[in-house]
Amino acid sequence: MRILYYDWDEFNDEDCQDAMRRLGHEVEIIKMDLSSCELTPEIEAKFKARFDRKDESGKRYFDLVYTFDYYPNISEVCQKYDMPYVSWVFDCPHLTLYSHTINNPVNHVYVFDRELYKLLRSRGITTVSYSPLGVNDQRLSTLCQKLDDETGGRVSYQHDVCFLGSLYDNEFNFYDQVKYLPPELKQYIDVVILAQERIFGHDLFTDEKAITDDHIKRLRKYIKFEQTGKYEINYDDVIRNILRKKVTVNERRNILTQMGQLFDTVIYTNPDAKPIPNVCNLGMADYTNKMPVVFHRSKVNLHISLRCITSGVSLRVMDVLAAGGFLVATTSPELEEYFQDGVDLAIAHTPEEMIAKTAYYLEHEDERKQIAINGQKKVLENFAYTKLLPDILTLKF
């Protein structure tokens, strides 16, 4: 298969391209700025030039266009020239999924959250399917072997407890930017946010016992959005995701504060993030080179899931396990479906359980190491790009 791969300098581009080539596909890269999501004449001309290319038999050269995440302008140009478009979405929320182009028949869009997939299908979107996310098994297994060879076949730890990810204490924390909610409404929403922090694996913002349609309607009255007409966005969903993001902001900071009080804890995040007492911020770690080393050489890695992901397994979980890291993760339906607590990783259902399991596994090294080995084996065998891509590239729907 000949794949025209739109590369937007995403962190996992080379991993996916390498896997495609190892599967026997020919991959050609196309690069340009598509951030506006508009199909301009210049963009159309660049894609059309490649779509017009023929092979020796006179057949159209490329079989499909591929991207990570969904680009409405690519869908539009593919629709115009009848070129299949495969998109694998790893961001959540991902608002371009609400573009009016999403139902273009050329689309083959994969999302990693099964509840999101069900929601989109329930709204009549037939071009969306489901797939968990993947990793490059060859790169990571080779890197881990190299790291252990450097230390005589054993893991040389750099950190006791480590969290790598965003704290979202910036412009993306939209809830704190809303200064004009009626006091009684804000008080109630704050109570639900606090309650959600105590519960992993169940979304209160879609639970009518906690947040009703009337609550969302009242919030929409005070939180306004620019409506361009280019997207068929369900703004009730946007409101819920703003509240979920606020939960993530609170619980990441609160859990890490408690970790810092109890353990030698580091974070890898934006250097400008607000400090957390007793927690050392070591800045950003690049995806390909430094990140897997951090995971491999931390005794306990923490995953505090972004609450916008209501059922799926985020890429960060796969990244940690594939690098041979031991992971304590907040629960989700699909995490418990694919992995076994105490065998492949440790799963926490409350903040207290996350702290308790961190303490336990810091003291039980042999168990921790075996679980890390099991988790890595499961991910490399079941979630490698070379395992998942054959299904994604079949154009089966």
Give the whole-angstrom CA distance, residue 125 versus residue 119. Answer: 9
67 neighbors 3 (Cβ within 8 angstroms): no
- 161-185 per-position pLDDT tens digit: 999 999 998 766 788 888 889 999 9
Instruction: Report the percentage of the chain scoring pLDDT > 70.
Output: 98
- Indicate the pLDDT class of residue 228, thresholds 50, 70 and 90: low
- 269-300 per-position pLDDT tens digit: 999 999 999 999 999 999 999 999 999 999 99
Burial grade of 55 (CB within 10 A; 0-12, 13-18, 19 or more):
exposed
Query: Which element (helix H / strand E) includes 141?
Result: helix 137-150
- 59-110 per-position pLDDT tens digit: 999 999 999 999 999 999 999 999 999 999 999 999 999 999 999 999 999 9
At 178 the pLDDT is 86
- 359-368 per-position pLDDT tens digit: 999 999 999 9
CA 344 to chain centre: 20
Helix (H, G, I), strand (E, B) or coil at 176: helix
Give the whole-angstrom CA distance, residue 338 versus residue 65. Answer: 30
Give the number of other Cβ atoms within 10 Å of residue 221's Cβ. Answer: 11
At 73 the pLDDT is 97
Give the whole-angstrom CA distance, residue 147 versus residue 153. Answer: 8
- Indicate the pLDDT class of residue 233, thresholds 50, 70 and 90: confident
Burial grade of 56 (CB within 10 A; 0-12, 13-18, 19 or more):
exposed
- 246-260 per-position pLDDT tens digit: 999 999 999 999 999
Of 229-243, 261-275, 301-315, give the lowest mean pLDDT range.
229-243
- Domains, the chain: 2-131 (3.40.50), 137-382 (3.40.50.2000)
Give the whole-angstrom CA distance, residue 356 versus residue 350. Answer: 10
Handedness of CA 277, 278, 283, 285 (dihedral sign): negative
Query: Which element (helix H / strand E) includes 279?
Result: strand 279-281
- 18-50 per-position pLDDT tens digit: 999 999 999 999 999 998 889 999 999 999 999
Give the whole-angstrom CA distance, residue 396 versus residue 380. Answer: 25
At 224 the pLDDT is 81
Query: Which element (helix H / strand E) includes 335?
Result: helix 333-338
Q: Which residue has the higher pLDDT, 112 or 225?
A: 112
At 229 the pLDDT is 66
Stretch 125-129: mean pLDDT: 97
Residues ≥6 apart with Cβ < 8 Å to 127: 102, 103, 104, 105, 107, 108, 109, 397
